Amino acid sequence: MKISSLFLILLSINLVACLGEEAPETPETPVYDGVVGSAVEGCDKQLASHSNFQQVYNDCILWDGNKGTLVIKYRSNDATLTGLGLSIHYSSAQLNNLTINDLLETDLLARGGNERDNSDNDSDSSTDMVISYGWAALNGNWPGEDTVNNGSGLAQIDLVTLEFTRVDNSTEDYIINYTSSSNAAGFELIVGK
């Protein structure tokens, strides 16, 4: 099996520093989808309404003073897929000293560095940096049966943790965009909480 390149999907999340309890992940958790879309509070499409999906999402940035931590997560209704190609776009005018921690190593075939976003694949001129990853399982077992959550029945795993500092102690909203060059054939790629 191989990773099928379907098309570039722009997925954008406007991240706002917030605190609070993490909501339980259930098939009724709202998600936001579309060829071009943003995770916004007004959407109400339920995860249960999707079949054959791969989802990239995150919770709010956790702040400790000026240091922020963002965990980028994944879930799907199938734990035996071929993989995912993911790029994370951000603005160096908003965030700096970015470090990458806890990267999912299972079937990691491509690991891009922290590079200039010269091709502007997210169509957002405010983002100027990009980090790209590619996970591929030739045996069609990604991310693996051991990632299935017994409560939800979904494959759930953390993809990567980003740590960074605010530029000039700013309190503005932070924009981090996700784009994908590939996902499993026949599966919809969605973004949201």
Residues 74-99: tens digit of each pLDDT? 999 999 999 999 999 888 988 889 89
Beta strands in 5-153 (DSSP E): 9-15, 36-38, 53-58, 62-64, 67-76, 80-81, 83-90, 95-101, 108-111, 115-116, 129-136, 142-143
Mean pLDDT over the full length of the chain: 76
Residue 100's domain spans which residues? Answer: 9-17+26-191
Query: In terms of DSSP H, where are the helices of 29-129?
Result: none
Query: In terms of DSSP H, where are the helices of the chain?
Result: none
Is residue 193 helix, strand or coil?
coil
Contact 99, 187 (CB under 8 A): no
Q: Quick check: is 1 in a domain?
A: no
Q: Give the model's pLDDT for residue 192.
A: 60
Is residue 145 helix, strand or coil?
helix
Q: Quick check: is 2 in a domain?
A: no
- Looking at residue 58, which CATH number applies to its domain? 2.60.40
Q: What is the DSSP letter of 21?
A: P
Those residues whose C-beta lies under 8 Å from the C-beta of residue 168, and which sit 6 or more positions away, are none
Give the global pTM.
0.77
Would you say residue 62 has pLDDT above 70?
yes
Q: Quick check: is 112 in a domain?
A: yes
Structural domains of the chain, count: 1
C-alpha 14/C-alpha 90 separation (Å) is: 11
Q: Quick check: is 75 in a domain?
A: yes
Digit-coded pLDDT (tens) for 127-148: 999 999 999 998 999 999 999 9
Q: Quick check: is 97 in a domain?
A: yes
Q: Quick check: is 159 in a domain?
A: yes
Q: Quick check: is 145 in a domain?
A: yes
For residue 48, name the pLDDT band (cuts at 50, 70, 90): low
The Cα-based distances of 63 to 42, 140, 164 in angstroms read 25, 37, 10
Q: Quick check: is 4 in a domain?
A: no
Q: Give the model's pLDDT for residue 79.
A: 96
C-alpha 148/C-alpha 154 separation (Å) is: 5
Beta strands 36-38 and 9-15, pairing class: parallel
